Amino acid sequence: MKVVEGIGEVRAAVAAARAAGAGEVGFVPTMGALHAGHYSLIDAAGAGGDFVVVSIFVNPTQFDSGEDLDRYPRTLAADLAGCAARGVDLVFTPGAEEMYPSGAATTVHVAGLTDRLCGASRPGHFDGVCTVVSKLLNIVRPDAAYFGEKDYQQAAVVRQMAADLNMPVRIVVGPTVREPDGLAMSSRNARLSPSERAQAAALYEALQMGAEMVLDGRGPGEVRGAMRRRLAERAPSGEVDYVEMIDPEGLERVEEIGDSVLIALAVRFPSARLIDNIRVDLPDAGP
């Protein structure tokens, strides 16, 4: 496994792999602090491809506060060991000055999808994501890039950007991986205090309860209210950022539930803001 910090080295390594006959290059962009969710994407890239590239870069432009950026977990040695164990071919670990040299002035913006949910609470966040993903895709030039469903809105935004800009890459979205108590794997979980960690299980509990209520035919307003009450009771240290029922494609808030709905939430604990979601597909109503 090769570990490089320079853009030129990435290009050279990928070009060499292509020249050696790698038909399919798979790419997993990450901010490090790798967990089972990342590794499931890496495994998917390995199953689908001949050459697997992982990037580890805590992208400053997608953080709204310097504090959150500074506290983002960094576990490079363990990440590299994990990548090596999974047969990753190339890990790209650029510094901030390699990715954003002085004078950088270009931003990629997706309208619409980004003005709600996490986009509403984190202004500029998705511009940072789109810009860094554009850069990484142009550096690696993979055939497929892998994103996690836990960051559902991010995956939708990246898919829209790739389609709109005709990026020659398949965007693959892998399922959320969960802890035994249901908490979605996230690098930010490492920042939770023991008490917050125990309360954080309430996110998935609330989502499951919401999904059952939807299947029972309850409307969005009632479901949101019940979920908020459940979160207030089970996660008292957390402040609800949003609980939304949205269309899984356009991410618009739904007031009436159709064939399928995405329930998405964000809860801000003192130590970290967590997000999660669940998709509910309703059985055919019959003739």
- Please give the residue ranges that form the binding site for a copy of itself (CB under 8 A): 7, 11, 104-113, 130-131, 134-135, 138-139, 141, 160-161, 164-168
109 is catalytic: no
Q: Taking the complex as a whole, how short is the minimal distance between the CB of residue 113 and a copy of itself, in angstroms?
A: 7
Q: Taking the complex as a whole, how short is the minimal distance between the CB of residue 164 and a copy of itself, in angstroms?
A: 4
Which CB atom, from 161 or from 266, has the smaller least distance to a copy of itself?
A: 161
CA 140 from centre of chain = 19
Q: Taking the complex as a whole, how short is the minimal distance between the CB of residue 11 and a copy of itself, in angstroms?
A: 7
Which CB atom, from 80 or from 130, has the smaller least distance to a copy of itself?
A: 130
CA 249 from centre of chain = 16
Which CB atom, from 107 or from 195, has the smaller least distance to a copy of itself?
A: 107
Whether 262 contacts 243, CB under 8 Å: no
Q: Residue type for 194, please? A: P
Q: Taking the complex as a whole, how short is the minimal distance between the CB of residue 195 and a copy of itself, in angstroms?
A: 41
Q: Taking the complex as a whole, how short is the minimal distance between the CB of residue 24 and a copy of itself, in angstroms?
A: 15
Backbone angles phi, psi at 248, to 5 degrees: -65, -20
Q: Compute the distance between CA of residue 42 and CA of residue 44 in angstroms, rounded to an integer.
A: 5
Whether 226 contacts 210, CB under 8 Å: yes
| Catalytic residue, candidates 35, 38, 109, 125 | 38
Whether 26 contacts 49, CB under 8 Å: yes
**Beta sheet of 144-148, edge-to-edge order:** 2-4, 90-92, 51-56, 25-30, 144-148, 170-174
Which CB atom, from 139 or from 235, has the smaller least distance to a copy of itself?
A: 139
Q: In this structure, how many other beta carbons lie within 10 angstroms of the beta carbon of residue 88?
A: 24
Q: Compute the distance between CA of residue 250 and CA of residue 256 in angstroms, rounded to an integer.
A: 15
Residues identified as active-site: 38
